[in-house]
Homo-oligomer: A and B are copies of this chain.
């Protein structure tokens, strides 16, 4: 009896049902190429719940020079976000640590404070917007603007981040300016930083020239 109803249902929905897969979600086929709107979709019958779950939001290793760690759940870790305009990350900052000034070329960001204290801000040509955040606070950083996060508390700080892009990238200002091979004279000229300052930071961030 059940089978009969199922068949009737199929008759009703025969044409509509199979389209449901196409646009209800589009899990990234990470082996294929990507395009301006994201990755190709995996065949729906190969999709499992694990395409929609990422289990790696543990405390990151904060022993690096900034004493900060970002653990992403972007499309490469969480292929189910492909095409959905959304992703997440976990941010850990040890005491004294910080995330240096950076931006995301095509993504806004929301920071949700969980533990400790972070002084965060973003900068526009006409004003800087800065706030000391504690657990329970949420702050938004609009798309494409330079921003920073500093652990201003007495212990570890943890926050979660959400992005309006499944693959938000990260443009760390120091790495941009001092990690490349552009001539130091050119960088000095176009940033108005002293030449010696540029050379000093190039040495630190791996840039040549």
Contact = CB atoms under 8 A, between A and B. Distances in A.
B85 A190 contact: no
By DSSP majority rule, is chain A's interface helix, strand, loop, or mixed? mixed
Contacts of A139: 52-54
Contact of A128 (B33, B172, B181): B181
Given A26-B36, A100-B191, A125-B171, 15 more contacts: A8-B65, A11-B69, A13-B175, A19-B169, A20-B169, A24-B106, A29-B33, A35-B39, A36-B37, A53-B138, A87-B110, A88-B162, A125-B170, A144-B171, A160-B160
30 contacts: A8-B63, A9-B206, A11-B61, A11-B63, A11-B64, A11-B69, A12-B65, A15-B70, A18-B76, A19-B75, A21-B124, A23-B107, A24-B171, A26-B36, A32-B33, A37-B37, A57-B136, A57-B137, A78-B140, A87-B110, A88-B162, A101-B190, A105-B144, A128-B180, A143-B144, A148-B186, A150-B190, A164-B164, A194-B197, A197-B197
Interface in A144-202: 144-146, 148, 150, 160, 162-165, 167-177, 179-182, 186, 189-194, 197, 200-201
Interface string A29-43: 100111111111100
Interface string A97-118: 0111101111111101110000
